[in-house]
Amino acid sequence: MSEQIIQITDVNPVEVYGINDSKLDAIRKYFPELKIIARGNEIKIIGDAKNIEKFETKFNHVLEYFHKFGSISETNIEKLMMQNGEMQISNGEEKTLSSDILLHGVNGRIIKARTSNQFKMALSIEKNDMIFAIGPAGSGKTYTAVALAVKALKNKEVRRLILTRPAVEAGENLGFLPGDLKEKLDPYMQPLYDALRDMIPVEKLVLYLETKVIEIAPLAFMRGRTLDDAFVILDEAQNTTESQLRMFLSRMGSAAKFIITGDVTQIDLPRHQPSGLIQVQKVLDGIKGIEFIYLDGNDIVRHHLVKKILEAYEMNSKNKV
C-alpha cells in the first residue's frame, strides 16, 4: 500500500474539484481501487503504487487542460480519462472550452453559455470588438454580456467595465420616484447590479464601484467621453434614438470591447420616435469587426412559461394585423 500527496498551485481548487467535488468524482470513478481524499489544495491518494502513478498522469492532464484554457468541465474530464498516452485536444474542443464556461462566480458558481446563441456571443467577442445581441426577454443576452465583461476584467484584458442603459420611462414617470438622481436611476440599472452580484463578491463589487473600476450609469452620462481600455455594455438599446445610439457607438476608444443588447419587440420610446437599434442593423451591416447575433425563443432560460407567454403575445399581435 502506497500513499502520495499532490499539491494544487496557482488555481482555486474548487475550479478543479467542482461544486461538491462533482469533477473530482468524475475522476474517482476511473480509479475505484484508490482512496482519493481532497483537502484544500492537497489531494491524498492511497493504494497500489502503479495505480497511483496512473492517477497522477491523468490528473496532471486535467491540470494542464485547466491551465491551458482557464476552465474544465466534467465532459472534458471524461474525455481526458478515456484517452491513452499524451493529452490530445482538437481545435474544435479548444474553441468550445474557451467559451463554454465563462467564469466562476460567487461561491464557485459556474457561469457559462447555456444556449447556442449565448455560446455564439462568447465566441464572437473573442474575434470582434463590437457585437449586437438582439433577442427576446429571458434569452440571457444581458447576463451573458455581463459575464463576458467580468471575465475580461478578471483576465486583465481591460482596466474597467462600463454598463449603461437609456433611462426611458416604461409606463412610469421618473420624476415622481423618490430620492436624488442616483436613487431615481438605480431601479433602471437593477438588472445589471443583479448580474454583477452573481459574479463578484459583494465586498469586491462595492470597492470596484467606489473606485470606478466598474461604472453603471445612464446613457446620457456617456456623452463627450472616450472609453479606452474598457469593456462597455449598452443594455436595452431598443430604447435609444438614432442619435443616442450613434453618440454611444462613437465613444469607443482604443483597446475597447462593446456589446449592445436589446429586444426590438419591447420598445418604450414614443410612437413617433424610431428605435436606433432597428436602424443600426442596416447601417452597420457588413462592417468587419462588428457582428449581429440574433437570439430567439430557443434561448429563453427563464421559467418555461416565459417562452409560452411570449409566443402567445406574438400570435395575438399577428391575429390583430
For the chain, the residue count is 321
Reference 261, options 225, 213, 293, 285; nearest CA is: 293
Residue 102 lies in a domain: no
Q: What is the pLDDT of residue 159?
A: 95
Element (H, E) at 92: helix 91-100
The model's pLDDT over 52-71, given as tens digits with 9 standing for 90+, comes to 999 999 998 888 877 766 67
CA dihedral 200, 203, 204, 208 (to 10 degrees): 110
pLDDT at 171 (0 to 100): 40
Give 100's pLDDT tier (boundaries 50, 70, 90). Answer: low
User: Do residues 174 and 279 share a domain?
Assistant: yes
Mean pLDDT across 132-148: 93
- Give the Cα separation of 154 and 196 in Å (integer): 13
**pLDDT value for 217:** 86
Going through the chain in order, the beta strands assigned E by DSSP cover 2-7, 35-39, 42-47, 101-104, 110-112, 130-134, 160-165, 214-218, 230-234, 257-262, 290-294
Phi then psi dihedrals of residue 29, to 5 deg: -65, -15
**Torsion angle of C-alpha atoms 209, 212, 217, 219, degrees rounded to 10:** -160
Between the CA of residue 157 and those of 67, 74, 172, 188, 235, what are the distances in Å? 17, 27, 39, 28, 21
Q: Are residues 124 and 198 in the same domain?
A: yes
Can you give the pLDDT at residue 43? Answer: 92
Residues 22/109, Cβ–Cβ less than 8 Å: no
Domain-ending residue, one of 72, 89, 106: 89
Please report which confidence band the pLDDT of residue 45 belongs to, taking 50, 70 and 90 as the band edges. very high
pTM: 0.65
Same domain membership, residue 248 and residue 154: yes
CA distances 153 to 158, 210, 219, Å, are 5, 16, 21
Q: According to the per-residue pLDDT averaged within each range, which of 182-186, 191-195, 310-314 is highest?
A: 191-195
Q: Are 34 and 41 in contact (CB under 8 A)?
A: no
Q: Looking at mean pLDDT, say which of 3-17, 21-35, 106-120, 183-197 comes out highest.
A: 21-35
In this prediction, residue 182 carries a pLDDT of 59
81/149 same-domain check: no
Q: Which of 86-95, 175-184, 282-291 has the highest mean pLDDT?
A: 282-291
Its domain, for residue 229, covers 115-320
Lowest-confidence region among 41-50, 111-120, 241-250: 111-120
Mean pLDDT of the chain: 85
What CATH number corresponds to the domain at position 268? 3.40.50.300
Is the pLDDT at 83 greater than 90? The verdict is no
- C-alpha 180/C-alpha 301 separation (Å) is 35
Crossing angle of the two packed helices 74-82 and 91-100, in degrees rounded to 10 = 150
pLDDT at 90: 47
Average pLDDT over residues 122-150: 94
Are 132 and 207 found together in one domain? yes
pLDDT digits (tens, 9 = 90+) for 202-231: 999 999 999 999 998 889 889 999 999 999
The CATH number for 16's domain is: 3.30.1370.10
Q: What is the phi/psi pair of residue 265, to 5°?
A: -90, -5
Cα(4)–Cα(224) distance, rounded to whole angstroms?
A: 61
Among candidates 162, 170, 314, 146, which has minimal Cα distance to 239? 170
Residue pair 133/300 in contact by the 8 Å Cβ criterion: no
pLDDT digits (tens, 9 = 90+) for 243-265: 999 999 999 999 999 999 999 99
Number of domains in the chain: 2
> Crossing angle of helices 181-199/202-210, nearest 10°?
140
